[in-house]
Amino acid sequence: MKLKQLLNTIDNIKKFVIFLLLIVIFISVQSQNVGIGGTAFLPLERLHIEGNEYLNGNLYVKTNYGSGSLIGTVHHGTSGLLGQTTTANLFGMEGFWLEGSSDGEGAGIFMNGNSIYMWSPGDADIFRIYDEDDFPAINTPKFVINGTGYVGINKSVPTQWLDVVGNVQFSGALMPNGLSGNSGQVLKSNGAGVAPSWAGAVTSQDIYSVESTAGITLNSGWQIITGESITINGLTAGDRCIIQYSGNALMNTVSYANVDVAAFVNGAMISIGGYVRLSLDYDVAWISWQNFSSIARYTIPANGDYTFDVRAMRASGSGTITVGGNSTQAAEGVLVIYVLKN
């Protein structure tokens, strides 16, 4: 029995020696290229593996490149192997590291099931992303983060936290200091290095105007001048309205009288500005025609729809007095409202 085991052992040793000789011959014939895992294939490099590989350790890539060495590593662990990542501890997380370096400082990527970290070399080195079509000329990168943290899109040397060359399209809100502003507001610059702020503005959409369409004969009560009424829908609390109007009053009989004209909102006289009193005297002074104009200010107290109009009355005296007219008459009046959005 022992003799049989000894013979089997000798036989196995012979087979192993033959296997080693075959490997040596294979390596020699294939110019020292080694092939593993395939049958009847020609190894193309020093080590050519067909099939899956399992590596329990670190993989290093190093070659002389100019005056320095280009080193690459692939490994799993809690810290890197190149540059300052050797002392990095990403919150104690283990993961896959892919690193490269040419001057002692590394760049790479770390990833695991929870996070992905990417970094460029330190100092003034820059993290760049290119399109394949940018090579070999190395045109302007599509995306850049420099050593300061400035981000450039379609710009090689960004000078602000976000520096874009080209048009910018977005579907959300601009939010300086976390504020999106109110509808109709515009961004106002507060100077260099300071976030802009939202401010009210008057645009063409915020200007409303009408003209009188016929004259009215005044009496001792307030009357809306025909045509001089505007309803503005959807005003917001805090919106400021500037009401401007002008017109003409004509006395048609030999008499005298005082005429009051005022701006109203939702049936109530506006308290800040907008009130005019004029005198007509077709009896002694021969002043039968008077122009009038005024400006009022009104701050919207609550969200809603508001109607503005101009009204006139004969405050005292007698006689026939006409205010307003149509577009063919000199007595035509105008009402204009400017809305400064809050």
What lies within 8 Å, CB to CB, of 283 at 6+ separation is: 254, 255, 256
317 in a domain, yes or no? yes
Q: Are 35 and 61 within one domain?
A: no
Residue 217: predicted pLDDT: 95
Residues 308-330 pLDDT 10s: 999 999 999 998 999 998 888 88
278 in a domain, yes or no? yes
Q: Are 226 and 310 within one domain?
A: yes
DSSP 17: H
pTM assigned to the model: 0.55
- Given a contact cutoff of 8 angstroms between Cβ atoms, the answer to whether 236 and 308 are in contact is no
> Each residue's pLDDT tens digit in the chain (342 positions)?
555 555 556 566 656 656 655 555 454 444 577 778 766 677 787 788 888 888 888 888 876 554 456 678 898 888 888 877 888 777 678 889 888 887 677 788 989 888 888 887 766 667 888 888 777 777 788 888 888 889 999 888 899 999 999 998 989 888 888 888 877 778 888 888 888 988 877 778 899 999 999 999 999 999 999 999 999 999 999 999 999 999 999 998 889 999 999 999 999 999 999 999 999 998 887 888 999 999 999 999 999 999 999 999 999 999 899 999 888 888 899 999 999 887
83 in a domain, yes or no? yes
Q: What does the alpha-carbon distance between residue 146 and residue 123 come to, in Å, rounded to a whole number?
A: 9
Q: Are 29 and 100 within one domain?
A: no
Residue 123: predicted pLDDT: 62
Nearest-Å Rg of the Cα atoms of the chain is 44
Strand-strand pairing, 151-153 and 162-164? parallel
Residue 3: predicted pLDDT: 53
What lies within 8 Å, CB to CB, of 202 at 6+ separation is: 338, 339, 340
What lies within 8 Å, CB to CB, of 191 at 6+ separation is: none
What lies within 8 Å, CB to CB, of 64 at 6+ separation is: none
From 125, 151, 182, give the residue that closes a domain.
125
What CATH number should be reported for the domain holding residue 260?
2.60.120.1340
Domain residue limits at 44: 13-52
DSSP 271: S
137 in a domain, yes or no? no
In the block, tokens 């290095």 appear at 193
Q: What does the alpha-carbon distance between residue 316 and residue 260 come to, in Å, rounded to a whole number?
A: 9
- Given a contact cutoff of 8 angstroms between Cβ atoms, the answer to whether 333 and 327 are in contact is no
From 105, 125, 145, give the residue that closes a domain.
125
Residue 270: predicted pLDDT: 97
Q: Are 18 and 44 within one domain?
A: yes
Q: Are 34 and 115 within one domain?
A: no
Q: Are 18 and 91 within one domain?
A: no
329 in a domain, yes or no? yes
3-state SS, one letter per residue, for 213-254: CCCEECCCCCEEEEEEEEEEEEECCCCEEEEEEEEEEEECCC
Residue 13: predicted pLDDT: 63
**Would you mind telling me the total number of residues written for the chain in this entry?**
342
- Given a contact cutoff of 8 angstroms between Cβ atoms, the answer to whether 133 and 140 are in contact is no
Q: Are 271 and 213 within one domain?
A: yes
- Given a contact cutoff of 8 angstroms between Cβ atoms, the answer to whether 161 and 151 are in contact is yes
In the block, tokens 């320095």 appear at 68
Q: Are 237 and 334 within one domain?
A: yes
Q: Are 18 and 118 within one domain?
A: no
Q: What does the alpha-carbon distance between residue 286 and residue 45 come to, in Å, rounded to a whole number?
A: 115
Q: Are 121 and 227 within one domain?
A: no
- Taking residue 248's Cβ as centre, other Cβ atoms within 10 Å add up to 20
Q: Is 257 exposed, middle or buried (CB count within 10 Å of its CB: 0-12, 13-18, 19+)?
A: buried
Exposure on the CB side of residue 178, measured as CA atoms within 13 A: 0
Q: How many domains does the chain have?
A: 3
The residue type found at 241 is: C
In the block, tokens 């981000």 appear at 151
Residues 64-77 pLDDT 10s: 554 456 678 898 88
131 in a domain, yes or no? no
Residue 16: predicted pLDDT: 60
Q: What does the alpha-carbon distance between residue 72 and residue 101 come to, in Å, rounded to a whole number?
A: 7
From 101, 125, 149, give the residue that closes a domain.
125
H or E segment to which residue 12 belongs = helix 2-29
Q: Are 46 and 58 within one domain?
A: no
The residue type found at 83 is: G
Residues 41-100 pLDDT 10s: 777 877 888 888 888 888 888 765 544 566 788 988 888 888 778 887 776 788 898 888
Q: Are 208 and 334 within one domain?
A: yes
183 in a domain, yes or no? no
193 in a domain, yes or no? no
Residue 264: predicted pLDDT: 98
